[in-house]
Every structure is written in C-alpha cells, then in structure tokens.
Structure 1
Amino acid sequence: MNLVINPFGILACVFVMLLSSCANRNKYTVGPDGSLVDKDGNHYNPHEPGTYDHFKGEKDYPKTRKVWKNESVLARTNSGNSSILVSLDIQRAFLMNGDEVAVDYPISSGKKSRPTPPGDYKILEKEVDKASNAYGKVYDAEGNRIYGEETPDAVPEGGKFVGAPMPYWMRLTWDGVGHHIGTIPKGRYAASHACIRGIREAIPTVYGKVKIGTPVTVE
C-alpha cells in the first residue's frame, strides 16, 4: 500500500495554522506591568472562565479578597491528606491536597515590627472560640476604653482586659503564632502581630479539613 501525500493539503493546513496564530497574537499584547492587554488597552485574561488559571489571570490577583475553591479537589481533601501553604510575598494562603490547590484565599501576616516567621510547622492546637491573652482592648474602672493600649500590662486598677477574638484558631508555635479568622485590610497588606489572619469566607472550611499535626509551610 502506497501512501500518497497531497502537498496542497499540507500547505492549506499550514496556512490555516498561521492565520490562527496571527489572530491570537493580535488579540492581546503585554502591557507595562507585564499583564496582557487587548487592542484597547484593557486587561485581557486568556484563560477559560471558571478555571483556576482564569482566577489567577484576573487583573486584581493576588490583591483580590475573593476566595477560589476547587470543589472537586475540596471534596476529596481531608485531615489525612491536607496541608497549608502560606505565601508572605503575595499575602495568600492555599489549602492543599498533595500538589493540588483546594482553596486559595487572602491572608494578612505579621507587620514589620512583628513579622510572621517563615518555616515549616505543624498545627499544634485547634480551638473554634479563641481569644488572645496578649492583645485586645483595655478598659478603665468606669468601663471606658483606653485607646492606644492593647496589652494586659496596660490595665489600670479596677479596669479590665478583653482579648482580641481569634475564631477558628490553629496554633503554629507555642509563643503565640497561629492561623485564624481576622481583619484583612482593604489594601491587602501585612498588619497582624505575627499571626496569619485569614478571611472569614475561607477559614472555617480550612479548619474543617485539617487536624493537629497537619503540616503548614510559611514562605
């Protein structure tokens, strides 16, 4: 059996491929910030909507306060196969199942004066209703809040200290560093006293998928 090759057919295929390539190339260019923009200068996301690549390809990622959940990965993630990865650089954390991302969510780590220490940790303690014994609100004997003071040492005679709430507490160190629900600044920057604050829309889910001993990497 002899194989007959039609050179005109090959040329036609090549021509179609070149046209397609040119069309895609003309669809967008690289903008000044390194992102893709269309011919009108608007941000262009080349990825299929609904995919994780599309989520990360959005103009406001990683600063977005949005949470990404891969429901199929999340469904088979449990305390026996999960881990947490925290990126101090982009201020986001990831609930992982092996190499797969189950949840991608915003965090706020320690500020410059009290930075979150990078390293490899394991969850040492879990507590749904946790309050800080180091930072919170200070009140005088009449019940008036003393602004600018936030530690137990600043409580005047007859006053009281109310620890800052840290719901869904996951302890990483015995000297007070943990991961919990907390305020995420609008500007999406590091603002805590070394803890890793997580957004309310994600932390209960993460909490339910980990256990004491679950590995946590902070980098």
Structure 2
Amino acid sequence: MTDRLGMPRIGVLALQGDVREHLATLRTLGAEAVPVRRPEELAAVDGLVLPGGESTTIVKLADRFGLLEPLRVAVHGGLPVYGSCAGMILLADRILDAPPDQETIGGLDVTVRRNAFGRQVDSFESELDLAGLEGGPMHAVFIRAPWVEKAGAEVEVLGRVVGGAADGRIVAVRQGNLVATSFHPELTGDRRVHALFVDIVRAHLAEQASASEENT
C-alpha cells in the first residue's frame, strides 16, 4: 500500500475519446496511468478518469464490453473518478437534451445539459477561476461542452463561466471522491485539475490503509 500511495494506479476509460492525453498528464504527476477496457482492469485501479468524447457512444461501448454495471458499482462504492466533458455527462444522475434511451453511470447529484454551449462550431476557450486551485485563472477549452443545470446540496461548485451568454453557468464540480469539468484540461498543458484528482486518489488510499490497520 505504501508504494501505491506514492504511485497510485489510475485508469483512463479507453473506449473512445481523448484517452492518450489524460494518460500522459497523469504520468507527469507520478501516477501509474493505465487504459481500462475490461472489468478486471477496472478492478485493479485506485481511481478512474472518464475522458471527453461522445457520451452515447461511450455508454454503448461500456455496455458491450461488460463495463457499465461494474462502473456503477465502483462509483457507488467510493472509487475516485474524474470526468471531463462527456465524462461529466456519464457521472451525472440526471441529463437533459439526451436521447430517451441514454444511460449514465451516475453518482454525481447534478442535472447536466448535453451540448449546452452548442455544436462543434461553437467550441470556445475561456479563463476560469476554480475554487481550491492556486496559480490564477485556468485556460479552459470547451468542445461541444455540457454544463451543470442544477447541483444537489452535497455538490461543491468549483467553477462557473464569467461573462457572455453563459455567465454564471456551472462548469466544474466536486462531490466527495467525484470531480467533473465541462472543459478539457488535458488539452492545455495545465495539470492542476489532474493534480487535484491525484491528491483525492492518494487521500482515499490513505483512508483505506488506515481503516485496514484499525481492523487488524
């Protein structure tokens, strides 16, 4: 366990989307970053990233690979998970503007609106202040991005859009071991969101180690 605290094993769901960029960022932060495509690979990680991509495609592939239900069990069992863009949609308990048969993994008490900022041609970049992250505003890239329409009482709002038609819209949240952003920090070279997530994974591992010692 001591080795895992120093180098936690963090998976990136590798069914579709910007997997490579997340793996590379996590490795620069001292994590053992591995792709996850099968239930047995999911069972071997200390945390998981759900990357951007196309949320309906990711859910269908997860179901086809036998991963959808294990993902739900893992999230509700306390596994730290970070979702970016489509990953935010996958973590949401409720989604708007989605196909009637679209499923989610759930666990995050939010209502998320898909493609809230518009189509691919409406993609944009903005400067955001994120709660708890030092170093000034973060340069955020939004690509067919969702936003959080409504957040539950246990959800901490980390960031909102400032200015423009979307002023005040929630684009970064945390609930316990779950973190989600509407934007793609893996595309900008800013590692602060990933660093926050790696810290959450390490804290979760430390809690597990402490609980294990108390029970022996």
Q: What TM-score results when the alignment is normalised by the length of structure 2?
A: 0.28
Task: Point out the structure with the larger helix share.
Answer: 2
TM-score with structure 1 length normalisation? Answer: 0.28
